[in-house]
Amino acid sequence: MTEFIEGGVTAAKGFLAGGIHAGIRKNRSKRDLAMIFCKKRAAAAAVYTTNLVKGAPLEVTRRHISDGYARCILCNSGNANTCNENGIEIAEKSSELVGIALNIEPSDVIVASTGVIGQPLSTAPFERGIPLLKEALSEGKEGSAQAAEAIMTTDTVIKEVAVKSVIAEKEVVVGGIAKGSGMINPNMATMLVFVTTDAAITPEMLQKAVSEDVRDSFNMVTVDGDTSTNDMFVVMASGEAGNDMISAEGEAFEAFKRALSAVTKKLCKMLAGDGEGATKALISRVSGARTKEIARIAAKAVIGSALVKAAFFGADANWGRVLCALGYSGAGIDPDKIDVSFSSRAGSIDVCKNGRGVTFSEELAKTILSEKEITTEINLNDGTESAEAWGCDLTYDYVKINGDYRT
């Protein structure tokens, strides 16, 4: 049983966070440097973008947490530190500056970055900002909110969530913050997501939990079909909850995975709903699949279809586009068995049965599709497996935002 609570990444015991303006962004009113700090050496696990073009911080972070532990996450926005000649040097130097400020090993620093690719970046903002950031660290919920704000780029709202759960009679908390509005189509990676927990869990089991979780969380989100160069999903576990160490599969591990899933799926919905230019959050829910993988492929194909996304923007119940996406998805489906319906707070309407159109009220459909959150229910009628994917509509503003993103 999980319960949503306040606090984000500072809800779990042992963590502090903060965010400041360090001068990476020209706009001095926007925070651009975030930190999450653990009072003790924490178990750490991560997954990264599969894009062959990777930001320098990913290479440095992979090296730093190769032993399964970390103390701190440092993330800047405004400049992705990707395709820069001195990118590795800056990532390592910023880790050293954190080490000096917090009296920790530089190798215990996770480095992340987001913003424009290929822009010059110096160490000056980090030299100036990290000592200030140390002073801004807080155990309170304002620390998490500041960090969540500092990692934003085109995001319009901060994204943070926390839950508490009971594992082996001990209360365990999992909290997270995320950023992502465009360039979102992860594959065994995600946007930028930082999760903290006070659960006691070994690095090996934490990595297993993270790697399994993304299959049904961040890998099922798409805004525009672009996989970013800087995507990273990191979890740090302080062990302060006092539960028996989770070192193998079993009831405690499953309980931890449920708590982690509650956080990541909530963040998925926030990310999808805040897609660049989006006016509607979309959910694609597939049931009746022969295998889990078929359900995942089918759900993500529908949520990623530009034509489906555009139809929802116009509140047009063009269900044929849903079947079209299913047909080219590569999922093992029987088109003659597919049922489709659309639902929202305004109601639900069947639009397709056994792969054929049915008579429905266009007026009611328009009302249903005019809501801010819309679900496409797809029953493949071919098995018992299911999956859910999250996305948003495709609007004129998406083109406007990305037409001059750099300039």
- Out of 273, 297, 317, pick the residue that ends a domain: 273
Which tokens go with 112? 């992340």
Same domain, yes or no: 331 and 372: yes
The per-residue pLDDT for range 143-178, each reduced to its tens digit, is: 999 999 999 988 989 999 999 999 989 999 999 999
A 10 A CB-CB count for 31 gives 27
Query: Could you tell me which of 144, 154, 138, 113 has the C-alpha nearest to residue 30?
Result: 154
Same domain, yes or no: 126 and 49: yes
> If pLDDT is split at 50, 70 and 90, which confidence band does 182 have?
low
Answer whether residue 34 shows pLDDT above 90.
yes
pLDDT at 191: 83
Same domain, yes or no: 285 and 259: no
Answer whether residue 112 shows pLDDT above 70.
yes
pLDDT at 22: 97
- Gap between the Cα atoms of 367 and 82, Å rounded: 44
**Consecutive H or E run containing 17:** strand 15-20
- Out of 212, 243, 273, pick the residue that ends a domain: 273
Same domain, yes or no: 370 and 347: yes
- Gap between the Cα atoms of 404 and 296, Å rounded: 34
pLDDT at 220: 94
- Out of 224, 256, 273, pick the residue that ends a domain: 273
Answer whether residue 183 shows pLDDT above 80.
no
* Average pLDDT estimate for 196-218: 97
More confident residue, 339 or 225: 339
- Gap between the Cα atoms of 348 and 377, Å rounded: 10
Same domain, yes or no: 268 and 321: no
Given a contact cutoff of 8 angstroms between Cβ atoms, the answer to whether 12 and 198 are in contact is yes
pLDDT at 51: 86
Same domain, yes or no: 184 and 238: yes
More confident residue, 278 or 214: 214
- Gap between the Cα atoms of 281 and 297, Å rounded: 19
Which tokens go with 192? 């930028």
The per-residue pLDDT for range 383-398, each reduced to its tens digit, is: 999 999 999 999 888 7
Same domain, yes or no: 242 and 315: no
Quote the number of domains for the chain: 2
Answer whether residue 190 shows pLDDT above 90.
no
Same domain, yes or no: 163 and 244: yes
Query: Could you tell me which of 193, 222, 10 has the C-alpha nearest to residue 110?
Result: 193
The per-residue pLDDT for range 58-72, each reduced to its tens digit, is: 999 999 999 999 999
Give the CATH number, domain containing residue 389: 3.10.20.340
Look up the domain containing 348 and give its range: 281-403
Q: Which active-site residues does the annotation give?
A: 190
Mean pLDDT is highest, among 43-52, 175-184, 397-406, for 43-52
pLDDT at 58: 96
Give the CATH number, domain containing residue 101: 3.60.70.12
Same domain, yes or no: 190 and 339: no
> If pLDDT is split at 50, 70 and 90, which confidence band does 189 have?
low
The per-residue pLDDT for range 115-148, each reduced to its tens digit, is: 888 999 999 999 999 999 999 999 999 999 999 9
User: Which residue shows structure tokens 């500072």?
Assistant: 10
**Consecutive H or E run containing 210:** helix 203-216
* Average pLDDT estimate for 253-266: 98
Share of the chain above pLDDT 70, in %: 97
The per-residue pLDDT for range 280-308, each reduced to its tens digit, is: 999 999 999 999 999 999 999 999 999 99
Same domain, yes or no: 163 and 197: yes
Same domain, yes or no: 8 and 125: yes
Answer whether residue 225 shows pLDDT above 80.
no
pLDDT at 405: 64
Same domain, yes or no: 297 and 269: no
Instruction: Tell me the average pLDDT of the chain.
Output: 94
